[in-house]
Amino acid sequence: MIQRIQSLYLLVAAVLGVLQMFTPFVKFSNSDNSECSITGLASFSFGMWHAGILISLMIILPLISIFQFKNRTKQLKITNVALFSAIGATLSANIALLLVPPDICSGLNPNYSGSGGLVLMPLAMIALLLAIRGIRKDEELVRSADRIR
């Protein structure tokens, strides 16, 4: 199960998704040190529920995909859906934060320093892409071994 490299990549993607739930996407602050930060968990209550759901899928789907090691085509499909949910989470979080800041943070200026939540998303996407590459290599290896028989 975890003996293959793509399983490790899938696990890394899930861990990055969990970290993303607790790492701020962006912090809003003003001159009198009022601060408001938005994390993946807080995105549900700040009207960014679509980003929260996609991040949750980005956590759950790689974990499900790890246990589909006997059926590589199904594993590949699940990993592709996880990759598209990661892309969707990145786009929806960026659009929601840039265009419509949450009401609770209105009047505050965005401060992107010290907030790494938006950096974790591309790292999870890279891990998912590496997992897809590993799954495809395994499938090619099995097909070539079947041809030899």
Q: Which of 117, 61, 51 is nearest to 88 (CA)?
A: 51
At 40, list the tokens. 């993946």
Beta-bridged to residue 111, according to DSSP, are: 27
Query: What is the helix (H) or strand (E) element at residue 37, kind and residue range?
Result: strand 35-38
| CATH architecture assigned to 5-148 | Up-down Bundle (1.20)
* Residue 38 DSSP SS3: strand
Greatest pairwise CA separation for the chain in angstroms: 73
Task: Write out the chain's pLDDT in tens, 149 residues.
Answer: 556 888 899 999 999 988 888 887 777 666 666 677 776 666 666 667 777 888 889 899 999 999 988 888 899 999 999 999 999 988 887 777 776 565 666 666 666 666 677 788 889 999 999 999 998 988 888 888 766 66
Which sequence spans correspond to the domains of the chain?
A: 5-148
- CA dist., res. 58 & res. 116, Å (int): 17
Rounded (to 5) percent helix, strand, coil in the chain: 70, 5, 25
